[in-house]
Amino acid sequence: MTHHENDENVYDFDRIQEKWLPVWDETRPFATDDPEDKRPRKYILDMFPYPSGDLHMGHAEAYALGDVIARYWRQRGFRVLHPIGWDSFGLPAEGAAIKRGVDPREWTYENIAQQRQSMRRYAASFDWDRVLHTSDPEYYRWNQWLFLKMYEKGLAYRKASWVNWCPFDQTVLANEQVVDGRCERCDNLVVKKQLTQWYFKITDYADRLLDDLKQLEGSWPSKVLAMQRNWIGRSTGADVDFVIEGREARVTVFTTRPDTLFGATFMVVAPDSDLAAELAAGSSAEVRMRFQDYLEQTQKQTEIERQDAGREKTGVFLERYAINPVNGERLPIWAADYVLADYGHGAVMAVPAHDQRDLDFARRFDLPVRVVVDTNAPVTGAIPVITPEMLEAADTGALPALNPAATGEALTGDGRLMNSGPLDGLSKSNAIKRAIELLESAGTGRAAKTYRLRDWLISRQRYWGTPIPILHEEDGTMHPVPVESLPVELPASEGLDLQPKGTSPLGAATDWVETTLPDGTPVRRDPDTMDTFVDSSWYFLRFLSPKDDTQAFDPKEAEKWAPVDQYVGGVTHAILHLLYARFITKVLFDLGYVSFTEPFSALLNQGMVLMNGSAMSKSRGNLVKLSDQLDEHGVDAVRLTMAFAGPPEDDIDWADVSPAGSAKFLARAWRIAGEVTSPPEVEWKGGDAALRRQTHRFLAEGPGLVEAFKFNVVVARLMELVNAIRKTIDSGPGAGDPAVREAIEVVAVGLSLFAPFTAEDMWSRLGYEGTVAFAGWRKADPTLLVEEAVTAVIQVDGKVRDRVEVSPTIASEALEQLARQSAAVIRTIGDREIVNVVVRAPRVVNIATKG
């Protein structure tokens, strides 16, 4: 054993970091470009960052956890693709440009350089040869290609419609970017504005986006699956056609309750629908005026306000009538803001007895309420015979009265149909089926589905994004830019006014906007740019052949690597980004470019890093700077702390964790690696038996723990193992014991998932040449896994009837089950009844019987 100099035996993370970074730069251990590499593949992907300043604590958590998974699979003998890039188009770059007069491009690429430097220091095991930036023309030309493919298929279209408009950012927002009626970015109230915009037809894929969630059950967080489901929001029911007096065409409404058709007493249309305007136009001058006022009021409301159940209902009677197709009744038509223009057909049949919103409205405006479902009647079994007991119960008020007009409570529950002609006596679900049959045979309705999901608005009136590759003729004719002419490059920002003003800054780039078709026809380029969610909807495919300038991605590489085996990122992207990526994957599947329909086979959402209970922010004054933490505690200690803090899904409060404690533990482990006196070639056999058992238990349990994302438990086990090694060295057989070398080698490999610098240095101190990253997860020796057994005695009424060998740590329930299954016990008890079982694990079970 060589004698270490004193300073060499001090855990100095700065020295260790400085030693290994250049080695890794040189050896590129995580490159994935070897065509001879035949190992099985894994694609582990971290959500790529937006380059807004330097990396922060949130990034540090995400990349630490993603790296545990990537490094783990490498140790398991997989060839792991773990790429990184930058989602580098977007508003903040323009914000900086406007505020500080810097070029958005410069600002963006400077930030990328800084983040890249920090990621290198953080030792995330990325394949640095596959880096991409979505703001590079080499990348965004393929956004344009995708757009053209979608345009060709009718999946990209342009239409004038009411859109969400942020008056502050002066930009349109997708529904997904409106949170509680406010702009996701600046928190200002969002208003509606009529504009001509580009859309992707995601609604065509609503059913598949919903149904394919089944593929992800169990490997995506159930919360995210539920959020996706709710966002798509499929409702099933019927479309019902109503004749309108004085109007040629019928009006269709969507209802989830066609069973209640006989209870419809009025109709409501969304004030901001074309239908409302048309119906009002055909009414008296007074109605027209009142409607106009009301429409203006409505347009000031956010969607959330309009749907607020507690708000007093408002509306205008249009003095027009609809005819109920099932009974010919005349239903007055109202315009009211609780009906939304862009859901279903923007009109409803109002059934106040059974729908709370309709009831509130009916009570406010004194409209009739007719009960058609007896919600007191039992629905199982045959149609009930009314018994004297039931009548009495109703009389004494034990059952709620069927009088919603008086109580103000709509009867929404199940029951038996009444006042409904052919539906009378049926239960709700049977009546729904029967009503649809009746409507279908009369040709006045049909089964239907409606979705909350809207088409994806992808155009933005902003500079720093992918130009939409469409040319417009004066007369409105559109020409897609030929694929061979891509990319349509973004012109320089110099001289352009980036200040938001409702039209794209690119419109003013005259030299760029004005061009001609090959035949000389003058055309203007579409001045809008794409939503950055387009960029991130397919980037995981670009990583597979990032330098290919002949196609967006290589389908052969996609066949080998994709879909992504494990995706890691924040739950903030649980709806938008994931939905869009799922959608585009299905489009690419339909176009024949990929053979799978879901992009991310498994998803892990890490929590947030908080400080003193709340999200970190400069204004709150609780910002913890990542670079300070790295300077103070070292990269490995910060990474280990992230993994050790708790389940990855939970938030980490940086005030509650101890990076200093992590550093101390790492130093302990590292020191042991320098104390081992046996040579590397020592056979893994013999030595301290207890230590060996603990080492092999770790080897056996580790993989299951990592794969279940119980990283904190793995770290805890490593700490226990280090303690046990210390004990063996100090008060057991000593540092030369082969079990010590075995154990500390296993610790080094285990630590390589969390603390790559320390682990690498330990590996080298243990006498190895290559990197620890590929040392491999050793197999546990099964003979070391059997625990010593103890004998449990099983008694029936105090007499020993059986003995079983059990683990000393057996749980009471398990021991009781073994006792109850014992043939001898079963025989003894016969058909006597067990009245009590007393379990004292692991030694005794006593079963007391009666009779």
| Amino acid (one-letter) located at 831 | D
Residue closer to ligand ANZ (CB basis): 260 or 504: 260
Q: Which is nearer to ligand ANZ, 255 or 532 (CB)?
A: 255
Q: How far is the CB of 433 from ligand ANZ (least distance, A)?
A: 16
Residue (133 or 354) nearer to ligand ANZ, CB: 354
Q: How far is the CB of 327 from ligand ANZ (least distance, A)?
A: 15
The amino acid at 306:
R
Counting other chains too, the contacts that 221-229 makes at CB distance below 8 Å and 24 or more residues apart are: 221/571, 221/603, 221/604, 221/605, 221/649, 223/571, 223/574, 224/571, 224/574, 224/578, 224/603, 224/605, 227/574, 227/575, 228/574, 228/575, 228/578, 228/579, 228/582
Measured from the CB of residue 403, what is the shortest distance to ligand ANZ in angstroms? 16
Q: Could you tell me the smallest distance in angstroms from the CB atom of residue 339 to ligand ANZ? A: 4
- CB 372 to ligand ANZ: min, Å: 9
Whether residue 672 contacts residue 726, with contact meaning beta carbons closer than 8 Å, is answered with yes
Backbone φ and ψ of 672, nearest 5°: -60, -40
Supply the minimum distance, in Å, between the C-beta of residue 240 and ligand ANZ: 9
Q: Given the complex with ligand ANZ, which of 64 and 349 has the nearer CB atom?
A: 349
Rounded-to-integer distance, Cα 404 and Cα 368, Å: 11
Q: What is the dihedral of CA 681, 685, 690, 692, to 10 degrees?
A: 60
Cis upstream peptide for 555 (omega within 30°)? no
Do 501 and 494 form a contact (C-beta atoms < 8 A)? Answer: no
Residue whose CB is less far from ligand ANZ, 169 or 259: 259
Nearer to ligand ANZ, 418 or 724 (CB): 418
Q: Which residues make up the interface to ligand ANZ (CB under 6 A)? A: 235, 254-257, 260, 270, 339-340, 343-344, 346, 348-349, 351, 354-355, 450
- The CA distance from 174 to 520, in Å, is 37
* Sign, Cα dihedral of 435, 438, 441, 442: negative
Place of tokens 């409803």: 348
Strand partners, 253: 240
End-to-end CA gap in the chain: 74
Distance of closest approach, residue 335 Cβ to ligand ANZ, in angstroms: 12
As a three-state string, the secondary structure of 28-53 is CCCCCCCCCCCCCEEEEEECCCCCCC
CB 127 within 8 A of CB 44: no
User: What residues contact residue 587 under an 8 Å CB cut-off, 6+ apart?
Assistant: 149, 150, 153, 155, 205
Contact 145, 151 (CB under 8 A): no
Query: Closest distance between ligand ANZ and the C-beta of residue 412, in Å?
Result: 7
Q: Whole-angstrom Cα distance, residue 685 to residue 323?
A: 89
Q: How far is the CB of 196 from ligand ANZ (least distance, A)?
A: 23
β-pair type (609-611, 603-606): unpaired
DSSP code of residue 524: E
State the nearest-atom distance from the C-beta of 199 to ligand ANZ, in Å: 19
Q: How far is the CB of 238 from ligand ANZ (least distance, A)?
A: 9
Residue 439 beta carbon to ligand ANZ: minimum distance, rounded to whole angstroms: 13
- Nearest Cα to Cα of residue 45 among 510, 603, 846, 448: 603
Least Å from the CB of residue 158 to ligand ANZ: 24
Question: Do residues 121 and 79 make contact, with C-beta atoms less than 8 angstroms apart?
Answer: no
Q: Based on CB atoms, which residue is closest to ligand ANZ, 59 or 257?
A: 257
Taking the complex as a whole, how short is the minimal distance between the CB of residue 406 and ligand ANZ, in angstroms?
A: 18
Least distance from ligand ANZ to the Cβ atom of residue 749, Å: 53
Residue 318 vs 796, nearer CB to ligand ANZ: 318
Smaller CB distance to ligand ANZ: residue 343 or 553?
343
Question: Which residue, 109 or 266, has its beta carbon nearer to ligand ANZ?
Answer: 266
The dihedral built from the CA positions of residue 749, 751, 753 and 757, taken in this order, carries a sign that is: negative
Question: Which CB sits closer to ligand ANZ, 414 or 781?
Answer: 414
Residue 234 corresponds to which tokens in the numbers above?
Answer: 């499929």
Q: Please report, for residues 235, 513, 640, 668, the alpha-carbon distance to residue 658 in angstroms, rounded to integers and kept in the order given.
A: 49, 56, 10, 16
- Residue with Cβ nearer ligand ANZ (349 or 417): 349
Identify which of residues 41 and 363 has a Cβ nearer to ligand ANZ in the complex: 363
Measured from the CB atom, the residue of 170 and 235 that comes closer to ligand ANZ is 235
Of residues 257 and 416, the one with the C-beta less far from ligand ANZ:
257
- Please report where in the chains the tokens 């966002």 appear, as a residue: 231
**Angle of helix 738-751 versus helix 659-675 axis, rounded to 10:** 140
